[in-house]
Amino acid sequence: MDNNGFLLKLAKRTIQNYLETQQVLIFDPDDLPSKTFLEKRGVFVTLTKDGELRGCIGNLEPRLPIYQAVIENSLAAAFCDPRFPALAKDELEEIEIEISILSPLKKIPKMPSLKLLTYLEKNKPGLVLKLGKQSATFLPQVWEELTQPEKFLTYLSLKAGLEPNSWQDSQIELYKYQVKIIK
């Protein structure tokens, strides 16, 4: 099994263990196949069922080692995503798991709207939008569904609880990132 397969198995084992015992999986870091998994990175875990989103939770900031973030976010995606009911035992075999390991966030310098749209069209990064205390993110994979930069930014503004055109506000802060996708 390669290292990517290890993380997917860890995520599934974590969810399965919780469904059976209601306990968080305890994992010994000495059993990691790679010391890379001790690195602190932002990690998202996305669950899909029949091609539809079933849960997605993660952290942008690198506050936990990768393997611990996979455990924590697998549980959160399966049982704590407020958009969905908790995963049931009979759904476990039907879900697909995708893990996104994030690069560090980089602030996008202020630029005119047209230039920003052109930049996003070309690069299609993961994006964090912040205005005051409100913020939201879309992983780069969301570009597959929201292919137009203006639509991407509009929905990201709405996700942050802002007005649809808030992305054009001069006080908006945008941060970009890339992901390593494991599925």
For position 66, what pLDDT does the model report? 96
Burial of 51 (0-12, 13-18, 19+ CB in 10 A): exposed
**In sequence order, what DSSP letters do the residues of 68-109 get, joined into one string?**
HHHHHHHHHHHHT-TTSPPPPGGGGGGEEEEEEEEPPPEEPP
Can you list the domains of the chain with their CATH numbers?
Answer: 3-102 (3.30.700.20), 106-178 (3.30.1490.150)
Phi, psi values for residue 10, rounded to 5°: -60, -45
**Over residues 69-91, mean pLDDT:** 97
Say yes or no to pLDDT of 2 above 70: no
**Over residues 86-108, mean pLDDT:** 96
Edge-to-edge, what's the strand order for the sheet holding 52-59? 52-59, 43-49, 95-102, 179-182
**Over residues 111-136, mean pLDDT:** 96
The DSSP bridge pattern shows strands 134-138 and 173-177 to be: unpaired
Say yes or no to pLDDT of 119 above 60: yes
pLDDT tier, 47 (very low <50, low <70, confident <90, very high otherwise): very high
For position 3, what pLDDT does the model report? 73
Alpha-carbon distance of 31 to 16, in angstroms, equals: 19
Say yes or no to pLDDT of 1 above 60: no
Does residue 174 sit in helix, strand or coil? Answer: strand
The tens digit of pLDDT for each residue in 101-118 reads 999 999 999 999 999 999
Alpha-carbon distance of 175 to 54, in angstroms, equals: 26
Percent of the chain, pLDDT > 90? Answer: 96
| Mean pLDDT, the chain, integer | 95
